[in-house]
Amino acid sequence: MRRREMGVLAFTGLAGAATAQTAGGFRDSGLVGRLEGPNIITDPARRPTQFKEAPMLAEQVRAGRLPPVEQRLPQDVMVVEPLRSVGKYGGTWRRGFIGPSDGENGNRIMSADKPLFFDPSGTELRPQLAKGFEVSADGKRTTLHLRRGLKWSDGTPHTADDWMFWFNDLYTNRDLVPAPAPELSSNGKPGRMVKVDEATIAFEFDEPYYLFPMLLAGDTLVGGGQTRLQSNGQTYALYAPAHYLSRYLPKNTPVETLTAQARAAGFNNWVQHFKFLSDWQLNKDVPTLCAWRMVQPINTQLWVLERNPYFYAVDTEGQQLPYIDRVQMTLAENPEVVNLRAVAGEYDYQERFMDLGKLPVFIENQQRSHYKVHLDPGFNGADSVLFPTLTYTEDAEIGDLLRKVEFRRALALGIDRDQLNEAFWLGLGTPGSTIPDESLPESPGGEWRQKWSTHDPAQANRLLDAIGLTRKDREGFRLRRDNGQRLRIEIAVGQTLSATWPQQAEMISQHWRDIGIATDVKVMERSLWYTRAYGDKHQIALWTNNGTESLYLYPRYVLPVDPIGGVISNVYAAWFASNGERGSEPPDPEMRRAFALMRAATGQQKAERDATAKEVWKIAVDQQWGIGLVGLSPAFMGVRVVNERLENVPGRTGISQHCRTPWGGHPEQWYFKT
């Protein structure tokens, strides 16, 4: 840690900021605050008795276009105690995005529609869309209490019927949901959703499922929220607006009529049309439960959100949230442009795409551009990971090598992570494997940080020789075993979260020259990268394992268990999620053992689950399903540039995937001071 602390100090001094005097300056520098956030008031006695609204909505009430605020709020309103002070209404939150493939940028802002959420530490459950829950003593039944009187953004009541509509009409339709959500099964046995009353839903399982409430809050197929999981062609998320979508299903309207409607709207069939209609990023008419609603879609120069007049939260003085009127995301051609605009002070709060390597520049321009820089260190083991695709088939020789653990280990041992850390993390990261921070209960221990993750070209060469890659050409590159031509491995890099991923891949290709492996770095647009990833078309994909510090809440970058897209094997993921009905069973006994451990964890209490997670991590690292590079740093959305006028922003916010940064800082209670 001392190395990372001194690195931040050096750049803080370079930029002319206040210089810390001790070895503990990583925090004393002022760049890293403490984890904090607003308080969610659950005591009914503290519920305000009078309510107020934003001026823009008050004008609509006077004009008769909206009912009064008292009629728009739910009976079980969520009360948010602002972090530092009660705010003022108005203003536009300026932000950057990089095009239609950057939907997750907005999904995170729309995270108020998740059933449950977390406290600032990302470890304790808090109410959100639901006001509470309970789990039966035997763990087989979880009951979720919705907020009575909750309304969609168009004013239509939101009830348990919206949840049953999703479960009965969407989830069981294999045209819309090809594979079931593994999170809706306990130990591989599917569960059931039951309506108790208009505001109560129960989930029943045949075996204990003590983990389920955490999954309802995580970034999972049951906890992602409507906006997260009913966009980009997905139809998960536990509920959907029945009053809006039901008429577009064959169950309620003849297929011929639906097909004609789809073609008139420019789609080939009713399924494509339905997925567009349920996608909040593209269809401004689909109702939402979030703090803001979309008024200008993602496929434009300006992606714009505007306050939801029916949002279910107020502050402690009864003012309906959010304070900020609009969120405006301006299109940038790539992450580098986003960084340049942030330095120029054109954004009010931007953490996405911020390059840790530009930290000195960000600090140097704080006063001139009227913003503050915050660093939020992560707990995930690798901000950058190389994921060999285990079911790659386009080249039989390459596919066979990627499935050999000796080959994966050799590639891992051929990387100089210290050089990567200095070049792209300013020396602030921790080189090593993919395991989470050793302070976390799921970590298998510090010795697993180094397992197959040190720079050892000699051992790498021995492993490659042992699997038959002994012949080399005049330049020292190894030859294929099938045809004697030069062996070439491709690293696929998406134009996405990290501006330096292409450069990282190029540096790794230089490292691999020393073990005789020729490498091609292929940089592609994000949506194409995803399409190829979902089809298992990449040989090796460069990505991150952010979120895996809580294994069960976001396991897709440790094991291929998520049927809507991973980077290890979508064929194996489909098999796992469908209990063998789809995809293919992995021939690797270690993968099958890890799958069995994941299934068993659903019915375990926390201490036993933590022990199971450690075993899964040991297998994953030993097998090198993900080749970790450098992590435990602020590099993955942990560099924040914040307008100095923006209030109630946390000094530090959790950047784990399940914390959904920036939503983990509760932007509904941010406001601009005058």
Q: How many CB atoms lie within 10 A of CB 334?
A: 14
Q: What are phi and psi of 196, to 5 degrees?
A: -90, -50
Which pLDDT score is estimated for 28?
A: 52
Residue 29 pLDDT class (50, 70, 90 cuts): low
Is 388 in a helix, a strand, or coil? strand
Which pLDDT score is estimated for 232?
A: 82
Find the mean pLDDT for residues 539-559.
Answer: 94
Q: Which residues form the domain of 529?
A: 385-631
Q: How many CB atoms lie within 10 A of CB 269?
A: 13
Find the mean pLDDT for residues 81-92.
Answer: 98
Same domain, 167 and 244: yes
- Cα dihedral 465, 468, 471, 476, rounded to 10, equals -40
Same domain, 331 and 412: no
Assess contact for 537 and 392: CB atoms under 8 A.
yes
| Cα separation, 558 vs 624, whole angstroms | 10
Measure the CA angle with vertex 155, ends 118 and 263; round to 5°: 95
Q: What are phi and psi of 41, to 5 degrees?
A: -80, 120
Whether omega before 360 lies within 30 degrees of 0, making that bond cis, reads: no
Q: What is the DSSP string of 105-133?
A: HHHHHTGGGSSEEE-TTSSSEEESSEEEE
Which pLDDT score is estimated for 538?
A: 97
The dihedral through the CA atoms of 321, 322, 323, 326 has a sign that is: negative
Q: Do the bridges between strand 130-135 and strand 141-146 make them parallel or antiparallel, or are there none, so unpaired?
A: antiparallel
> In the listed set 252, 279, 314, which residue is the last one of a domain according to the structure?
252
22 located within any domain: no
Which pLDDT score is estimated for 38?
A: 98
Assess contact for 569 and 586: CB atoms under 8 A.
yes
With both helix axes pointing from N to C terminus, report the angle between 606-623 and 589-601 in degrees, rounded to the nearest 10: 160
Find the mean pLDDT for residues 442-461.
Answer: 97
Give tens-digit pLDDT for 321-379: 999 999 999 999 988 999 999 999 999 999 999 999 999 999 999 999 999 999 999 99
- Report the range of poorest mean pLDDT among 18-32, 178-192, 219-233, 528-542: 18-32
Same domain, 621 and 642: no
| Cα separation, 353 vs 350, whole angstroms | 8
158 located within any domain: yes
How many domains does one find in the chain? Answer: 3
Helix/strand/coil (H/E/C) assignment for every residue in 216-245: HHCCCCCCCCHHHHCCCCCCCCCCCCHHHH
Give tens-digit pLDDT for 266-294: 999 999 999 999 999 999 999 999 999 99
| Cα separation, 339 vs 229, whole angstroms | 28
Q: Would you state the structure tokens that stand for residue 21, as one six-digit string?
A: 């005097």
Q: Which amino acid is at 257?
A: T
Q: What are phi and psi of 646, to 5 degrees?
A: -85, 125
pLDDT at 30 over 90: no
Same domain, 405 and 456: yes
Rounded to whole angstroms, what are the CA distances from 219 to 214, 317, 441, 659? 10, 31, 19, 8
Find the mean pLDDT for residues 65-83.
Answer: 98
Same domain, 593 and 609: yes
Partners of 652 in the beta sheet? 35
Mean pLDDT over the full length of the chain: 93
Which pLDDT score is estimated for 495?
A: 76
Which pLDDT score is estimated for 8?
A: 37
| Cα separation, 567 vs 530, whole angstroms | 9
Same domain, 342 and 422: no
451 located within any domain: yes
620 located within any domain: yes
Assess contact for 11 and 359: CB atoms under 8 A.
yes
Same domain, 357 and 244: no
> Which of the 8 DSSP states describes residue 553?
G
Same domain, 460 and 371: no
Whether omega before 457 lies within 30 degrees of 0, making that bond cis, reads: no
Q: Which amino acid is at 199?
A: A
311 located within any domain: yes
24 located within any domain: no
Q: Would you state the structure tokens that stand for residue 317, as one six-digit string?
A: 């003085």
Residue 137 pLDDT class (50, 70, 90 cuts): very high
Exposed, middle or buried, 77 (CB in 10 Å: 0-12/13-18/19+)?
A: buried
Give tens-digit pLDDT for 312-333: 999 999 999 999 999 999 999 9
Q: Would you state the structure tokens that stand for residue 206, as one six-digit string?
A: 């045949």
Q: Would you state the structure tokens that stand for residue 581, as one six-digit string?
A: 């009905």
Same domain, 555 and 642: no
Q: Do the bridges between strand 78-81 and strand 313-315 make them parallel or antiparallel, or are there none, so unpaired?
A: parallel
> In the listed set 252, 278, 300, which residue is the last one of a domain according to the structure?
252
C-alpha closest to that of 414 among 386, 448, 453 = 453
C-alpha closest to that of 621 among 433, 494, 491 = 433
Same domain, 419 and 358: no
Percent of the chain with pLDDT over 70: 95
- Tokens 């450069």 identify what position? 503
Question: Distance between alpha carbon 509 and the CA centroid of its chain, in Å?
Answer: 28
Same domain, 500 and 451: yes
Q: Which amino acid is at 282?
A: L
Find the mean pLDDT for residues 595-603.
Answer: 94
pLDDT at 186 over 70: yes
Give tens-digit pLDDT for 468-519: 999 999 999 999 999 999 999 999 999 776 778 999 999 999 999 999 999 9
Rounded to whole angstroms, what are the CA distances from 253 to 80, 240, 247, 249, 250? 42, 18, 6, 6, 5
Find the length of the chain: 674
258 located within any domain: no
Residue 179 pLDDT class (50, 70, 90 cuts): confident
End-to-end Cα spacing for the chain: 40
Look up the CATH number of the domain holding residue 297: 3.40.190.10
> In the listed set 196, 229, 252, which residue is the last one of a domain according to the structure?
252
Spatial CB neighbours of 447, under 8 Å, sequence gap ≥ 6: none
Assess contact for 384 and 629: CB atoms under 8 A.
yes
pLDDT at 526 over 60: yes
Look up the CATH number of the domain holding residue 526: 3.10.105.10
Which pLDDT score is estimated for 563?
A: 82
pLDDT at 6 over 50: no
> Which of the 8 DSSP states describes residue 6?
H
pLDDT at 153 over 90: yes
Same domain, 71 and 180: no
- Cα dihedral 243, 244, 250, 254, rounded to 10, equals 100
> Which of the 8 DSSP states describes residue 652?
B
79 located within any domain: yes
> What's the pTM value of the predicted model, to 2 decimals?
0.88
